[in-house]
Chain A
Amino acid sequence: MIHFSNVTKFYEKQAALKNITFSIEKGEMVFMTGPSGAGKSTLLKIIYLSEKPDEGSVTIAEWDLSKLKESSIPFLRRNIGVVFQDFRLLDNRNVFDNVAIALRIRGMLDSEIQEWVMEILKMVNLRHKADSFPQALSGGEQQRVVIARAIVGEPTILLADEPTGNLDPDTAAGITRLFKEINARGTTVVIATHNRELYRNTGRRVLRIDGGNMVGEEIG
């Protein structure tokens, strides 16, 4: 599903990723861990095409990114749900509209959107907050809105960048359960985190990154 081959990425001559090679299979749930600044976010950005690798090749769901036309990028992105570290919620829209936007972009009809969004909000336990605005939600609730927006379009890949960053342990555990549920439906899930508790005893693959290098792999 995701294949990196000798990928290197520079930011102003400083290497953020160095010769990274790994593969993630369809339906897998993989953790990426390492200290802050290790290159986890850069790696995710390359997957959702926000950044381009300077060297090496990347294949996502059989799309070779180096051969991908710019006009095809939106269509590939629709197959990738992203839980952004900074949430990227639209402050001037309520929870319903924040989730619905992912479907409006896909050209879905209003009647279908209504049903679909409410279903997803029920799944993340936010149905009662559909009319609330992001500022009125707690950090955990905001995180769940972002997850709802990321999965509402039924992507084949779900990426999460530090999804439990500022959450208390109970809320973080709830979020992790949610990811497991999503993964159980067949979605490939990649979670970048420096929180050990998130992947401990999960039995899932953990890729270790440090200083832009892939330094190891273990089972959590």
Chain B
Amino acid sequence: MYLLYSFRLALQSLWREKWINLLSVLTIAAGLFMITLTFFLVYNIDLATKRLPARFSVMLYLNDGLSEQETGSIIAQVKKNNAVEQAKYIAKDKALQELKGVLKNADYILEGVDENPLPASIEIKLKKEAVNIASVKKVAAEIKKIKGIAEVEYGEQFLNSLHSIKGMAKAGSLSLIIIMSAGVIFVCYSTIKIAFYRRKEEIETFKLLGATRGFIRAPFVIEGGVLGIFGGIAGAAAALAFYYVLFYKVTATIPILKILVFPLETFPALPAAGLLLGIGGAVIALGRIRFS
């Protein structure tokens, strides 16, 4: 087996050009750190939108003058809908009381209003899987058909905007991750290409002595992998520093940032990602090795 020898060759080469390789490792680390930050952003946006179903509700405003029996029938029909998790009836009086509670010191707005202008309503919570534009639209349309319901309100614009923001953030982040990954591959590609040209004479001799493609490639692929792993470790160290500063220092000043979550799985994933990107860069740099 020549793998051990290939490792030795790779480590010798890495040590011989230690400063160039250190620069490559730091560049890879910077790239991977940027990828981590982007991933952190997308992760939190995703988490925030996943928390939305618990807060999201659809308001059904009822016609005036419905009897208790008619209201009960409407609630029963609403609950029959498979997407509905729970339905809460809010009587006219309760609605007015809640409004007064919200207005507090601005209750002069209601001065001169003798009759309760607010309609009775039903607040419905949808099942987690039903909180998406298509499903909410469908449920709203179905419920609106129920006799006695005057209006259905679910914040269509808010839901649309949220969906767009989430989509844009995901697309932007994915593009950034792809660009940064390509950057990391390019750094490894260039470093290995330089190493390959530097040892061109030696490689030619190896070929003439009967070396296979595997024997020639192995040290360079190992070099790429080692650069990637060290870049990943340095990137993980930077991410750890970021985590420490954000969650122990910044949150002390801005407590709201405590809602952010940092996926700790990122730390071990970075060296692995570095390894794969490093090997990828090296393989591309070596290309097809010809013997004649």
A binds B: yes
The interface of chain A, by Cβ under 8 A from chain B, is 48-52, 70-71, 73-78, 82, 84, 88, 90, 101-102, 104-107, 109-110, 149, 153
| B211 and A74 contacting across the interface, CB-CB below 8 Å | yes
| Stretch from B28-36, B82-90, B94-102, B202-210 contacting the other chain | B202-210
Q: Told that A74-B210, A102-B210 touch, could you supply 16 new A-B pairs with CB distance under 8 A?
A: A49-B292, A70-B291, A70-B292, A71-B212, A73-B291, A74-B207, A74-B212, A77-B208, A78-B210, A82-B208, A84-B208, A104-B5, A105-B212, A105-B215, A110-B4, A153-B210
* B50 is an interface residue with CB less than 8 A from chain A: no
In the bound complex, do residue B213 and residue A71 qualify as a contact, i.e. CB atoms below 8 Å apart?
yes
**Are A105 and B291 in touch, CB under 8 angstroms?**
no
Note all chain A residues with C-beta closer than 8 A to B1.
107, 109
B residues near A, CB below 8 A?
Answer: 1-2, 4-5, 202, 204-213, 215, 290-292
Task: Give the distance to chain B from A127, nearest Cβ to Cβ, in Å.
Answer: 22
- Shortest Cβ distance from residue B113 to the other chain A in the assembled complex, whole angstroms: 91
B209 touching A101 by the CB < 8 A rule? yes
Pick from A51, A74, A78, A88: contact of B205, CB under 8 Å: A88
B202 surroundings in chain A (CB, below 8 A): 90
Contact B2 A107 (CB under 8 A): yes
| Cross-chain contact B291 with A49 (CB below 8 angstroms) | yes
Q: Which A residues touch B206, using CB under 8 A?
A: 101, 105
Output the least CB separation between B254 and chain A (Å).
Answer: 57
* 13 A-B residue pairs with CB within 8 Å: A49-B292, A70-B291, A71-B212, A71-B213, A74-B211, A74-B212, A74-B213, A77-B207, A90-B202, A104-B2, A105-B2, A105-B212, A107-B2
Would you call A70 and B290 a contact (CB within 8 A)?
yes
CB-based closest 6 A-B pairs: A78-B210, A77-B210, A73-B291, A105-B211, A74-B210, A88-B205
The answer to whether B213 and A106 touch across the interface, beta carbons within 8 angstroms, is: no
Nearest chain A CB to B190 CB, angstrom units: 23
Q: Name the B residues within 8 Å of A104 (CB-CB).
A: 2, 5
| Given A104-B2, A104-B5, A50 and B211 contact (CB-CB distance below 8 Å) | no
- Do the beta carbons of B291 and A74 come within 8 Å of each other? yes
Compute how far the CA of A78 lies from the CA of B209 in the bound complex, rounded to whole angstroms: 6
B209 touches A149 (CB 8 A): yes
Closest B residue by C-beta to A149: B209
- Bound state CA distance, A149 and B204, in angstroms? 15
Q: A48 CA to B210 CA in the complex, in Å?
A: 10
Beta-carbon nearest neighbor of B202 in chain A: A90
User: Which residues on A sit within 8 Å (CB–CB) of B209?
Assistant: 77-78, 101-102, 105, 149
Q: In whole Å, how far is A125's beta carbon from the nearest beta carbon of chain B?
A: 22
User: Which residues of chain A are within 8 angstroms of B290 by Cβ–Cβ distance?
Assistant: 70
